[in-house]
Structure 1
Amino acid sequence: METRMPLPDDEHTGSRIRERRRLARLTQRELADRIPYSLSLLNQVECGARPATPGFVAAVAQVLRVEPFQLTGPPSVSSLPPDRLISLIAPIREALDRFDLGPHPDLTVLRPARELAVEADLLCQKVRATHLRVAAKALPALIMELTHTAWTAPSTDTWRALASAYRTAHDVALKLDHPDLARVALDRMGWAACRASDPCIDAVQRYKRGTLWRGATSRALIMSGQNLLVGVTSREALTVAGQLHLGLATVAAKSDDVTAVEAHLAAARELADRVGGEAGDLHWLSFGRTNVQLHELGTSIAMRDFDRALGQARTLRLPAATLTSRRARYLVDRALVEMEAGSAKTSLKYLAAARTVAPEQTRHLPGTRATVRGLVHLSRSAPESLGSMARWVGM
């Protein structure tokens, strides 16, 4: 089976007009008949051979019933209205910014450190279950309380809990498409990890930082995390080391370094066998054999080896206990490779399943939008189910 068309990356006004036209179930001729411009010009604009003038864009936007900026500007991926998203993000940003101000003068913390640590763990669970808004609303108060407690009664457990809360803030910010805030949260996580003197937390922080970069910087960060674990043989350390190998495999895949991909995946498999089972209880990494298989699929997709990815996706069986976030990611990956195989209906079915399982996460995953765009490009006239999905992701 040949590899199908590449994922569309022609993010120009013409490509957006083409997408919107297909979602409106109009042919080029039908759209041209409704605007004061020729079919020839429309065709040239859509393929990128001619620029779209403001008047042309305005005419097309009126027919397609969209705002002109939706055809000319970068596509929106936000799943919430701006004011609602800000109401979630701004308090987290403020809480992160108080890290070095010492005890909060107006805050009285009544809960003991142990109870705060339990809540930090619960919020991490909420994110893994993709209850992002619930976690986002609770995070600022928890971070404030933990920061105050760490300054007034510092202990290793408190610093660990604070590092965990910062890590959850990173995950929430990243999943809500705020990578700038995610980086700030990771800086805070490193600050707390140093005070906890915990090499595993420090290594996880460097792994998370590495996932925000590409190429040499990403590899250097993750490898520095591995160096922190040299000589440490606890189950916790083996779990973190295994996850770091998966991270390095992902980095290598983005550079099409097949040899490095296979080497890191093999190392991760060996560590997964030593850990035994799925280590979801350790730093919420969910490292184990299933996670290795999911990364095998992910690296094949990153290297655009869709024939291999399709076989991996169709044979992979997720255990019932698989975290919701992992399940949703698999469903989106499955949808993408089915689209590349030309199975549009099957692809859309898996996208719909991901939306049902984890709507907040699915809407923000890059693979979701890539798959929808690919399906639109493969379809001469998009069915209503695809149009509904496209509107849902903000296209």
Structure 2
Amino acid sequence: MPDESVGQRAAQLRRLRGLTQARLAGLAGVSLSLVRRVEQGQVPATPAFIGAVARALNSSPAELQGQPFRGATANSDRAHAAIGPMRAEVAMSEIPDDGIAPRPAAELRARVAAASQLAHRVQLLRLGDDLPSLLADLRTAAANAADTLAPEIQAMLAETWGNARMVARVLGYPDLAQSMTERYAQAAGRSGDPYAIVIGTSLRAAELIQVDRGQVAARLLDAARRATGSHPTRARRRRGRRGAGRTCSRRSRRPAARVTPPLRTST
């Protein structure tokens, strides 16, 4: 339940599966002492441990972590209201909407930059208010953009999908975050921005680690390094420091990508 720890949930699922701690440790490829200490709350469960144990239990990291992370009050829970509209945007990706008038590129640049600033500060409520309509407007812009503007629109889409992914991940919707990672990678590829493409690879690797596919993630990162001469995780950190000038606006700043940033719902 919500107040349970990862260790308590793992122990409950282990018993339901009829497994001993030793058997679970063997299936997950972790030490017996680590299983015991996590179940007893003596040490925190790392993402790698959660992924390995979830796989061994035929469960999911989300189930072990008690996701989504609902708020304790109506105000702190309000950020979740954006999940439905953002999920719809994932489904609507690349489908033009005749009911939305294309917005000027300058307006979109300013809105994308503002959203990235909010994401950098993890202001989930304001992001939740802004992201669904911004994604819809960028989707419309992508469908109507002239060839000369199309790469920049795709770069703005990638940046916005990255911010949406952060919201989904922080609130505890890993499956949605995974879909948003794919949308990021698609838009980054169309933008032609090498930094955005490398960051997309890094985000995909992070998703693979979450589901206990660390070796696949390592191969993906290594292939990207050989192809571009830049390590994806370092490129992602550089983009976090430099902002999104290469993809959108020099006034915008891309937040450093995180797996589990602190939850803040301030407006």
TM-score under structure 1 length normalisation = 0.42
Residue 82 of structure 2 corresponds to 88
Tell me if structure 1 keeps the 8 A contact 2:78–2:125: no
* Aligned position for 2:70: 79
- Aligned match of 1:202 in 197, 205, 213? 197
Q: Which amino acid aligns with 2:169?
A: L
1:222 aligns with 2:216: no
2:184 is matched with which residue?
A: 189
Counterpart CA distance in 1 for 2:226 and 2:244 is 18
Report the alpha carbon displacement of residue 359 of structure 1 after superposing the two structures with TM. 4.6
**1:221-300 mapped onto 2 (5 Å cutoff):** 221-230=220-229, 242-243=234-235, 280-283=241-244
2:71 partner SS: coil
SS at match of 1:156: helix
Q: Considering only aligned residues, what root-mean-square deviation do their CA atoms show, in Å?
A: 3.6
Amino acid at match of 2:228: L
Match 2:98 to one of 95, 105, 123:
105
Q: Which amino acid aligns with 1:100?
A: E
Change over 3 Å in CA distance of 1:160–1:75 after alignment to 2? closer
SS of 2:179's equivalent in the other structure is helix
Distance across 2 between alignment mates of 1:105 and 1:169: 23
| 1:145 aligned counterpart, secondary structure | helix
Equivalent of 2:140, from 136, 143, 148? 148
- Asked if the contact 2:154/2:190 (under 8 Å) is kept, the reply is yes
Paired with 1:191 and 1:120, the residues of 2 have a C-alpha distance of 18
TM-score under structure 2 normalisation? 0.60
Q: Higher relative contact order by CA 8 Å / sep ≥ 6: 1 or 2?
A: 2
Aligned position for 1:115: 107
- Contact 2:109–2:156, Cα closer than 8 Å, also in 1: yes
Partner AA of 1:90 in structure 2: G
Q: Offset at 1:283?
A: 4.3
* Deviation, structure 1 residue 242: 2.1
Q: Is the 8 A contact 1:92 1:140 kept in 2?
A: yes
State the alpha-carbon separation in 1 of the partners of residues 158 and 226 from structure 2: 20
Question: In the alignment, is the contact (CA less than 8 A) between 2:70 and 2:80 conserved in 1?
Answer: no
Q: CA deviation at 1:124?
A: 1.6
Structure 1: any 5+ residue segments left out of the alignment? 1-6, 14-45, 48-72, 231-236, 247-274, 285-322, 330-357, 362-395
Contact 1:143/1:165 (<8 A) preserved: yes
Equivalent position of 1:38 in the other structure = none
Partner residue, 2:160 = 165
Q: Who is 1:64 aligned against?
A: none
For 1:179, the equivalent position in structure 2 comes to 174
Q: What secondary structure does 1:212 align onto?
A: helix
The CA deviation string for residues 244-266 of structure 1, in whole angstroms up to 9 with x for no partner, is 6x8xxxxxxxxxxxxxxxxxxxx
The separation in 2 between residues aligned to 1:121 and 1:147, in whole angstroms, is 17
C-alpha deviation, 1:192, in angstroms:
1.1
The aligned amino acid for 2:163 is T
Conserved 8 A contact 1:88-1:136: yes
* 1:80 aligned partner, one-letter code: G
Task: Find 1:129's aligned residue among 109, 114, 121.
Answer: 121
CA contact (8 A) 1:130 1:325 kept: no
CA change 1:282–1:99 in 2 (3 A) is same
* DSSP-derived class of the 1:108 partner: coil
Distance 2:64 2:6 in 1: 14
Amino acid at match of 1:107: I
In structure 2, the CA distance between the partners of 1:143 and 1:223, relative to structure 1 (3 Å rule), is: same
2:255 is equivalent to residue 360 of structure 1: no
C-alpha distance in 2, partners of 1:135/1:148?
A: 20
Counterpart AA for 2:218: R
Structure 1 residue matching 2:161: 3-state secondary structure: helix
Q: Is the 8 A contact 1:162 1:189 kept in 2?
A: yes
Q: Which residue of 2 aligns with 1:297?
A: none
Secondary structure in 2 matching 1:360: coil
Q: Would you say how many aligned residue pairs link Structure 1 and Structure 2?
A: 191
C-alpha separation in 1, matches of 2:107 and 2:78: 29
The alpha carbon displacement at 1:131 in A equals: 0.3
Is the 8 Å Cα contact of residues 205 and 220 (structure 2) preserved in structure 1? yes
